Amino acid sequence: MPDEPADVSTEGDDPPLSSTSIAILHDRFPGIGGGEKFAIEAARVLDAPIYTMYVARGTDIPSDVRVIPIRQSKYVTGPTSALLEWKNEGMNPLETLNVALDMTDAHPALSDYDVIFESAPLSKSYVPEVDQKVVHYPHSPPRWLYDLYRDRIGGLDYPGLGFALRAYAKAWRALDKEANDYVDRFVANSELIAARIRRYYDEDATVVYPPISGDWRNEGDDGYFVTWSRLAPEKRIDLLVEAFAGLDERLVVAGDGEQREKLERLAAAADNVEIRGFVDDIESLVANATAVVYAPKQEDFGLVGAEALTAGKPLLGVDEGFTRYQVEEGVTGLLFDPTVESVRATVRDFDAADFDADAIQARAEPYAYEHFAAGLRRVVREVTADDATDEAATATDAPASSPEPSG
């Protein structure tokens, strides 16, 4: 069981890292999701370029960040791209295997940096130089290998296929743990992920929450509940749509993804549920909502929950994953079980008048951007200081050199 979210302090100086050369190594940019946003903000904070295996076509990279694709032709434009682009970012095992293998030697320029800050699990496959320091921020150990292993494999137990998949996962698990030898410091995005790293890797991890950026605010209550995320099965938006279809309250769903057509079909029978698709100004949509409702499966951190609190909006969240630690019953929101009946009962019991926006925003203070920036810089300073301490100890412990024998 992870500890409660940590109190975060930025007291003291936060000096720059001008004497340390740093590169961000992010596995791939199939679009701009949570992991890519993290890599971009880490690059800004550490004043570092991002090396990545490829940047998918149509991906909008901010102009103030330098992103260097390592094998762009192979994954995007070359003859192998048709196979590797299909259902990328973890859904295509061939693409995942190729990214991991290509990460071992990555880019020759990486050898010139003092610190490699790795974002996302596959970046751990990079084999560093002897004198380099590696900081690894995995977001989570690969969930299909560990905490979601039975869920993912159990539904595919066809004759022969189940055995092959279990063997494939076992081989991957061995490779994943082997790569831990290259890491000097693990960093987790929440206490929940620190607990997973300790359980599956037997390593301690420093917790640095991802950054919350954007104009999150509270402008009142226009009488609708809101949820937003990538529309994928593990986000359980279909659970919320089904629950609200039996309520009088309005639900607005923002986001896009593989389940959008399914959700639109479910919402078609309920005039109080709107599937809005991608919303460019999500902050304004949230600013005028009654509350945020969120039901992801065992969420690692949950930017949606942190953003809801930053906006001063009550969070009706599922009682699992890190979401349960973002909800303080009666103060920041209410918890529900991942069932239609529980969601409906919680929404019926909810009264916006019971919640104070200022009190909610105060609970979001640990997620402030300045804490993220200070945390990353502190980790880099510590890992380079450890290196200097090790060198000093080696010099002290070394035996005195023997005199040359006389002729």
pLDDT tens-digit readout, 186-195: 999 999 999 9
Domain covering 224-366 assigned CATH 3.40.50.2000 in the classification: yes
Q: Can you give the three-state secondary structure of the chain, one letter per residue?
A: CCCCCCCCCCCCCCCCCCCCCEEEEECCECCCCHHHHHHHHHHHHHCCCEEECCECCCCCCCCCCCEEECCHHHHHHCCCHHHHCCCCCCCCHHHHHHHHHHHCCCCHHHHHCCEEEEECHHHHHCCCCCCCEEEEECCCCCCCCCCCHHHHHHCCCCCCHHHHHHHHHHHHHHHHHHHHHHCCEEEECCHHHHHHHHHHHCCCEEECCCCCCCCCCCCCCCCEEEEECCCCHHHCHHHHHHHHHCCCCEEEEECCCCCHHHHHHHHHCCCCEEEEECCCCHHHHHHCCCEEEECCCCCCCCHHHHHHHHCCCCEEEECCCCHHHHCCECCCEEEECCCHHHHHHHHHHCCHHHCCHHHHHHHCHHHCHHHHHHHHHHHHHHHHHHHHHHHHHHHHHCCCCCCCCCC
Q: For residue 318, how many other CB atoms are within 10 A of its CB?
A: 28
Arithmetic mean of pLDDT, 202-226: 94
Encoded tokens for 41: 């903000």
Is the pLDDT higher at 52 or at 10? 52
Q: Taking the model in full, what pTM does it have?
A: 0.81
pLDDT at 147: 80
Q: What percent of the chain has pLDDT over 70?
A: 87
Query: d(Cα 281, Cα 119) in Å, to the nearest integer?
Result: 26
pLDDT at 393: 47
Question: What's the whole-number average pLDDT of the chain?
Answer: 87
pLDDT tens-digit readout, 331-346: 999 999 999 999 999 9
pLDDT at 402: 42
pLDDT band at 13 (very low <50, low <70, confident <90, very high): low
Class in CATH terms, 22-211+371-384: alpha beta
Query: d(Cα 297, Cα 282) in Å, to the nearest integer?
Result: 22
pLDDT at 155: 64
Residue 53 has pLDDT above 90, yes or no: yes
Residue 306 has pLDDT above 70, yes or no: yes
Query: d(Cα 253, Cα 268) in Å, to the nearest integer?
Result: 13
pLDDT at 166: 82
Taking the CA of residue 376 as centre, how many other CA atoms within 13 Å lie in the half-sphere pointing to its CB?
A: 30
Span of 13-17, 107-111, 320-324 with lowest mean pLDDT = 13-17
Residue 202 has pLDDT above 90, yes or no: yes
Left, alpha or beta for 87 (phi > 0: left; psi -120 to 50: alpha)?
left
Residue extents of the structural domains in the chain: 22-211+371-384, 224-366
pLDDT band at 146 (very low <50, low <70, confident <90, very high): confident
Residue 15 has pLDDT above 70, yes or no: no
Residue 7 has pLDDT above 50, yes or no: no
Q: Do domains 22-211+371-384 and 224-366 have the same CATH topology?
A: yes
48 contacts 112 by C-beta, under 8 angstroms: no
Give the total residue count for the chain. Answer: 407
Query: d(Cα 199, Cα 216) in Å, to the nearest integer?
Result: 35
Q: Tell me the C-alpha to C-alpha distance, in Å, between residue 152 and each of 17, 91, 323.
A: 42, 12, 22
Arithmetic mean of pLDDT, 385-394: 57
pLDDT at 387: 59
212 contacts 369 by C-beta, under 8 angstroms: yes
Span of 124-133, 140-149, 199-208, 250-259 with lowest mean pLDDT = 140-149
Query: d(Cα 304, Cα 227) in Å, to the nearest integer?
Result: 8
Q: Can you say how many angstroms the Cα of residue 285 is from the centroid of all Cα atoms in its chain? A: 23
pLDDT band at 184 (very low <50, low <70, confident <90, very high): very high
pLDDT tens-digit readout, 233-287: 889 999 999 999 999 999 999 998 889 999 999 999 899 999 999 898 999 999 9
